[in-house]
Amino acid sequence: MQIYLPIAEMSVNALLLLGLGGAVGFLSGMFGVGGGFIMTPLLIFAGIPPPVAVGTSANQIVASSVSGVLAHWRRKAVDFKMGGVLVVGGIAGSALGVYLFRLLSDVGQVDVVISLGYVALLGIVGGLMLSESMRAIRRARAGAPATRRRKPGHHNWVHGLPFRMRFPRSKLYISGLPPLALGFIVGLLASVLGVGGGFIMVPAMIYLLRMPTSVVVGTSLFQIIFITALTTILHATTNQTVDFVLALLLITGGVLGAEFGARMGQRLKAEELRALLALMVVAVSLRLAVDLVLTPEDIFSITRLPE
């Protein structure tokens, strides 16, 4: 069943796209991540042009994040003030990222930068996650707690920075600079690589900002909604790389897959889930790295030069 994608200017099997959306939705429900860092590489593997894959992935992340925030909001597990600070930084990062994306497109290097960015980002994050997960599994098998508890009152360098703000929901009194910087970085990644940034945001909020785990996921998703929505609008108006037909198919498959993923995730231990996610991230990174060094089937491409 072929369907034409107007922005990507190609025909693709609709069942394949529904399957990709379902697979990423399954992973999102199972691991609690947005899935953009997996969706964009999978779309590239399926032949979708990288610029379209980036712009459309951001659109898909918006839909999946909204339902997550609503669920966490009903449980009062969203720090809206912290989320607002993250959004302010993310807006600046997204604007800069879309501008850089346009510059790279004009010089014809955006495909290479996207692939290299994913190889580096997924390789580093996946390696760190896998290392931490293996240590947690070994501790659990030895009879020790899977995660080490921090001493009460223990602070890091973040708590000594100026411009402190109170975040009542998170019970924090810290500088507003680290959340701004964190939001900026995630906004930049969302616009250049098409990722929501949750797989970076969540660990940073826990280990760097020392936010309670109970409000981390909901607050991260709250920030991701605004940043990915802005990124989608900027890509659609500036770079014309958002294919809504593609996004609709991915969202449909993702909604169905997330339900089954959530059920499967409840059957596995937390450290086992993190290890599986880390292996998947590393595998995608290696696949992209191999594609960069292999000789392509077509040694040339035809593109339309900017007027």
User: For the segment 138-191, what is each residue's pLDDT rounded down to a tens digit?
Assistant: 877 777 655 554 544 445 565 667 788 888 888 888 888 888 888 888 788 777
Which of residues 233 and 300 earns the better pLDDT score?
Answer: 233
- Average pLDDT, integer, range 11-33: 76
Q: Which residues are paired to 4 by β-bridges?
A: 11
pLDDT at position 269 is: 66
Q: Does the pLDDT at position 132 exceed 60? A: yes
Q: Does the pLDDT at position 31 exceed 80? A: no
- Average pLDDT, integer, range 81-102: 86
Q: What is the pTM of this model?
A: 0.65
pLDDT at position 30 is: 63
Q: Among 73-87, 144-158, 276-290, which is the least confidently predicted range? A: 144-158
- Residue 24: pLDDT band by 50, 70, 90 thresholds? confident
Q: Does the pLDDT at position 210 exceed 70? A: yes
| 227 contacts 198 by C-beta, under 8 angstroms | no
